[in-house]
Structure 1
Amino acid sequence: MLILFSLLVIGAAVLGMPRVKGRIGEGWVKFFLSKLDPERYFILHDILLPGQNGKTTQVDHIVVSPYGIFVIETKNYKGWIFGSEKSKKWTQQIYKNKQQFQNPIHQNYGHIEAIKNVLGEQVKLPYISIIAFNSKADLKKINISSPDIYVTYDTRIKKTIESYGDKRNVIPYAKAVHDRLKSSAIAGKEAVKSHVTQIKTDQKQVKRKVHNNVCPKCDGRLLERRGKHGHFKGCSNYPKCRYTA
């Protein structure tokens, strides 16, 4: 009994790890995407692409179709979720506890830019950004104005993609785009380790700049300001740069 209890405790701890929870969320999205027609939708999962300045970008899921390129970011959160398209941070609330996380729309925008960098301007398919939350999340108040951005549940992701039914290109063209992305992917454990190291380094650089009152976005000076939610640091180049900390 003691061994069984210990295994249950260890299993619960492992399942609670952010990386493991993220993999579980990606697994569910992968399952729902597998229901799409394979003759029209060409799917890539967990793909590492070259970005700008020698960096890399990891994309959870890409669906290439004759109707557009769907770029999917999965979020395995629970509780109430609040956010808007242009806000820097979103809020997760569980009872009275609130915590903020990076705007996933901004995060996915970086993924789309990396894909565009690989494919070039000759690919004329539209890009559709989808943020997929699991069923444990309750999307309370999400403000989106752009027509090609969706924040939804993983159970509705297939329906969201299939709602784009206006055929704009021949199917072989979509397959060629899929194949090009696949051939451009960076594979291997060393590449993944390098990507993780890059993320940690970038985070440290941002913290260091903010600590020294330097804007990590444009290198302007960060100034102490006061808003309706209290004190914060804002870039001196506002409104050209809207970075806050």
Structure 2
Amino acid sequence: MYGIAFLLAIGFAVYRIGRRRQPRPGTTLPRPATRAELAGDAGEAAVDAELRRVLAWLCGENFYLHRGPVLLRHAPGASYPTAEVDHLAITPFGLFVFETKNWTGHIEPASDEGFLVRVAANGDPEWRKSPLKQNYSKVVFLRGVMPGMWPIHSFGVFASVNCTLSPAIPPSLMRIADLAHQLRLCKTHYECRGQREVNVKAAWQAVLSVAEVDRGSIERHRLRVRTDPVIRMIIP
């Protein structure tokens, strides 16, 4: 009799635990991340770490690199009022908008400059939207609302070590290993022109006046992108 009572108690406990795990009416469980999303997150984490290392080397403590994406309110009232920046860095020599891709294979230019051709290991070519094209409207927006003396740069960074680049693609598209060299060139060019340093703190406050960085806003933006078949098709 004792054994039966024990089994009934265990069964009831399992039932209660299962009930607690059921979503409340009107709520949904979080969607599991896809393989592509996990790869993208890993690439962004690698680029973030390298950017912090390089910027500390170039600027000491005088820079700001936001941890996580930044949403620019570039089109208030439109169907897609926000645009996501993977990495936004502010330095004494300019503001930098980075789009990260964790693609593998060989990257070549396409006949349309808004796209690139990714050649897989088996030789199959695939057209993909260029990171620079994805950055274009974001950079145009920032240049329109930020003081004109602050240069704003657009870079695309390929995070995978299993990615090679054709020399024919623009130099603003680079491997993660090229970041230090490219940012050093930007710093040297800016200083050689004798321009006044960007006030890093003031520049970040100016960005915040036209941006959102809270988790809720980012999730709502990503949900809109995930559920729009047109957006998903052109932004792999």
TM-score by length of 2: 0.68
What's the Cα RMSD here?
2.8
With over 3 angstroms needed to count, the CA separation of the structure-2 counterparts of 1:40 and 1:91, relative to structure 1, is same
Aligned length: 187
Q: Is the 8 A contact 2:97 2:153 kept in 1?
A: yes
Is 1:128 aligned to residue 164 of structure 2?
A: no
Runs of 4+ in 1 over 6 A off after TM superposition: none
Return the structure number with greater relative CO, CA threshold 8 A, min gap 6: 2
Give 2:124's aligned residue: 97
The gaps in structure 1 that reach 5 residues or longer are: 1-13, 208-245
The answer to whether the 8 A contact 1:85-1:143 is kept is: no
Paired residues for 1:1-245 under 5 Å: 17-35=35-53, 36=55, 37-45=59-67, 46-54=69-77, 55-83=81-109, 87-94=113-120, 95-117=122-144, 119-120=145-146, 122-134=147-159, 135-144=161-170, 150-164=172-186, 165=188, 166-167=190-191, 168-171=195-198, 173-182=199-208, 184-200=210-226, 203-204=229-230
Q: Equivalent pairs: percent with the same residue? A: 21
1:54-80 per-position Cα deviation (integer Å, ceiling 9, x unaligned): 310110112212222121111100011
When you count helix as a share of all residues, which structure comes out higher? 2
Contact 2:116 2:130 in 1 (8 A): yes
| TM-score w.r.t. length of structure 1 | 0.66
Alpha-carbon distance between aligned partners in 2 of 1:206 and 1:30, rounded to the nearest angstrom: 24
Unmatched 5+ stretches in structure 2:
1-31
Higher strand share: 1
